Structure 1
Amino acid sequence: MSKRQFGLIGKNISYSFSKKYFTEKFALGNLEDYFYENFDLQSIDEFPEILKNNSDLKGLNVTIPFKETIIPYLDKLSKNAQKIGAVNVIRFTKKGSLKGYNSDYYGFIKSLKPLLKEHHKKALILGTGGASKGIAFGLEKLGILYTFVSREEKEGMINYNRINATTFDNFQIIINCTPLGTSPNVKEFPNLPYQFFTKKHIAFDLIYNPEETQFLKKAKKKGATIKNGFEMLQYQAEKSWKIWNK
């Protein structure tokens, strides 16, 4: 049987969850001809080279910072990926074309849903990159209103400096979609007035390494329900596997 290769495209991804996850999955399933590899790119311009040098590729995951810049290299997008404007899964179709999907929003919904209570009506999304787009789509599906928080003043978004006690009264879910606090930079955290977290709040961090970021620690001190991105990644990965095996 021919080799079936999968992989992850990203930048500085040696820590990647995906490689370990899929390598273990292939081993458990006795899928001896299946391999998963990290493709660490400095720029998305290097993507065609990967395609050229890896003819056994059957599927790819995409992580930051390429979830949006990958799109021009794809032949088509799923309806949801098109709506979201970000891709984290690529399927190599039988005809040899590349189709982009988004499984982030699915993983996020599955992970957040068990925490939701009646009063969780509105969310703040910290960050405006490709990851935050999938999160916004997931919140829409859950019927939760959201606002983006950005470092720059942008239309329809709020700036970190404007977040105060009233903001925390209005928004009961705070989601960190920035890389702040990711290992090895574990001392970093989004610039928020953490004293306004309460036990009514959910603090959700897409980061999973470290297990508890400063963002989560500070929210937890104030009684907030906290969750990291590990489970979301597991759900997202399982969804990727389904997409590749369509």
Structure 2
Amino acid sequence: MEKTEKKENRFGLVGKDISYSFSQGYFSEKFDKLGLSNCSYENFDLPNISNFKELPNQKNIKGLNVTIPYKEQVIPYLDDLDQEAKTIGAVNTIKFTKNGLKGFNTDAYGFKKSITPNIRKHHKKALILGTGGASKAIAYVFDTIGIDYIYVSRNPSRTQFNYNDLDESVCNEYKIIVNCSPVGTHPNIKEKPNIPYHLLTSNHLLFDLIYNPSKTAFLKEGEQKGATIQNGYKMLELQAEKAWEIWNL
């Protein structure tokens, strides 16, 4: 990817191995459409979160997005947290203010707005696959809209399910399944979370936070069983627009 020209208003994405990311293309196109020739968006691909402390010393950075695996790890480097980000325990948006770096979470906003139109009366309980920073925003949304949930993990705590626990009774009870793990992301598009796909029905709703590919192996399996499926692209657009709003407050 060609090197991004640094402008007087710099924005960017903090993550690890993020050359694939949607954000740089999305915001660069947005700046073009709005005629914001003084704005640029770049990837800050950090091998370790400790490298983050060097970023605030760079000139003209106004705001950052944060992605896997740093949504929780970045918090100690911030000066302040928005109340919602504090409750969630994960940050995906950082605003550079005169009082220092303030963390926000726009994943919750994006997820709520994108999944709500597909929720039906029989969608009362959810399985959240994965326990990273993104999953915390999903859990927060379910708390706010009154849907019970349980995390599914390869290394579960006492209050979580192991993938081996997902039997017929669990799948009948939990009709929403949200993949918050990176399993199935490009280029590993044949991979999928280890759930019993044969137990899925047309009453299930499968949501994958992954947007590349647009239809993951996880979603394809659900589609074959008649389930409602949704990828993470709309959520990504919504959280990006919310981040832009925060940076410009």
Normalised by the size of structure 2, how large is the TM-score? 0.96
Q: 2:101 aligns with which of 83, 98, 101?
A: 98
| Counterpart in the other structure of 1:25 | 30
* Residue 51 of structure 1, CA deviation: 2.2
Q: Hey, what's the Cα distance between the residues in 2 that align with 1:155 and 1:84?
A: 20
| Counterpart in the other structure of 2:40 | 35
Q: 1:167 aligns with which of 144, 167, 170?
A: 170
Cα deviations by residue, 1:58-104 (Å, 9 ceiling, x for unpaired):
000000000000000000000000000000000011x1410000000
Aligned residue pairs total 243
* Residue 142 of structure 1, CA deviation: 1.4
Counterpart of 2:67, as a letter, is: T
| Counterpart in the other structure of 1:65 | 69
Normalised by the size of structure 1, how large is the TM-score? 0.97
Cα deviations by residue, 1:94-139 (Å, 9 ceiling, x for unpaired):
x141000000010000000110111111100000000100110111
Q: CA RMSD in A?
A: 0.9
Q: 1:141 aligns with which of 144, 147, 150?
A: 144
Q: Hey, what's the Cα distance between the residues in 1 that align with 2:11 and 2:158?
A: 39
Q: How does 1:87-236 map to 2 (within 5 A)?
A: 87-93=91-97, 95-236=98-239
| Counterpart in the other structure of 2:88 | 84
Counterpart of 1:44, as a letter, is: I
- Runs of 4 or more, structure 1, over 3 Å off, are none
Q: Hey, what's the Cα distance between the residues in 2 that align with 1:111 and 1:100?
A: 22
With 146-155 and 227-236 compared, the bigger mean Cα shift is at: 146-155
* Residue 50 of structure 1, CA deviation: 2.2
Q: Hey, what's the Cα distance between the residues in 2 that align with 1:17 and 1:236?
A: 12
* Residue 165 of structure 1, CA deviation: 0.9
Three-state SS of the structure 2 residue aligned to 1:59 is strand
Three-state SS of the structure 2 residue aligned to 1:158 is coil
Q: Does 1:16 align with 2:21?
A: yes
Cα deviations by residue, 1:128-175 (Å, 9 ceiling, x for unpaired):
000100110111111111100010131210100010111111101000
Q: Hey, what's the Cα distance between the residues in 2 that align with 1:5 and 1:222?
A: 45
